[in-house]
Amino acid sequence: MPPSVEVLGTPLALTDYTAVIEWIDATVASGSRGSLSAAAVHLVMLAQEDPEVRAAVLAASLVVPDGQPLVWALRALGHPSATRVYGPDLMARYCKHAAHTGTKVYLYGGRNDAALVELTVRLRTRFPGLEIVGAHASPFRELSAQEDEQDAVRIDASGAQVVFVGTGQPRQEQWMARMRPRLAAPMLIAVGAAFDFHAGLVAQAPPWMGTHGLEWIYRLAREPRRLWRRYARYNPRFVAGFARQYARQRARPH
């Protein structure tokens, strides 16, 4: 397991894409069970406010810094080698890898069945040989115990080894925490908006904006009605909260 450092109570891994993919492969090969969440600032702040979200985040085997501001926070805390592990890029890199290794992949989430079909077609076209053994679009509401059971039966029957979960934060983390004990698949990976990006439904920000921590501006410009409250509420709170954490660390005797 890569080492991790807490930022506002969320343990963020000090790792990179290569090490994460190796860890996923090792988990699959050993037949053990793990889960991974690519955390944005939004999830870190939700985990601070909501005990149920916090419990779900802490239940993940590994939490990686999806957003550049979280990488800057890790570096400010004394970890200059910290790097971003962006959920959509991790999904693409692992799908490319799985196309060569034969790892069986399942897609859980997406906007609807049509979006999931488009995602499946695009991934298979982009990564020839990728074995997608199943896909299911989860409704955007609280699921019943019967629906959870149906999901577990469906996923287990597929023989999936890696399940990508794209139902949005924090629903995907809560789903993984609830379903991890019930699923035979060795690895569950929550990747947020990756499904929309790779299906071509939402445009990704240019890489330079992600590198400079400006991706939220790009996304806000394209989905203002959905995202403006999130950014207006949590971005300032993150800055203020991390400033307090940083000040406390600086004040400690070395």
Q: Are strands 162-166 and 104-109 parallel, antiparallel or unpaired?
A: parallel
Pairwise pLDDT comparison (228 vs 185), residue with the higher score: 185
Q: Is the pLDDT of residue 78 over 80?
A: yes
| Mean pLDDT score across all residues of the chain | 89
Q: What is the mean pLDDT of residues 76-102?
A: 95
Tens digits of residue pLDDT in 232-243:
777 888 889 999
Q: What is the mean pLDDT of residues 7-30?
A: 96
At 104 the three-state DSSP class reads: strand
Q: Is the pLDDT of residue 218 over 70?
A: no
pTM for the model stands at 0.89
- pLDDT grade, residue 92 (50/70/90)? very high
- pLDDT grade, residue 117 (50/70/90)? very high
Q: What pLDDT score does 254 carry?
A: 62
Tens digits of residue pLDDT in 127-169:
999 999 999 988 777 878 888 889 999 999 999 999 999 988 8
Determine which of 26-30, 73-77, 160-164, 198-202 has the lowest per-residue pLDDT on average: 198-202
Up-side HSE of residue 56: CA atoms within 13 Å toward CB? 25
Tens digits of residue pLDDT in 182-212:
999 999 999 988 998 898 877 676 777 777 6
Angle between helices 215-222 and 224-251 (to 10 degrees): 160
Burial of 156: CB neighbours in 10 Å, binned 0-12, 13-18, 19+: middle
Cβ atoms within 10 A of the Cβ of 118, count?
Answer: 18
- pLDDT grade, residue 228 (50/70/90)? low
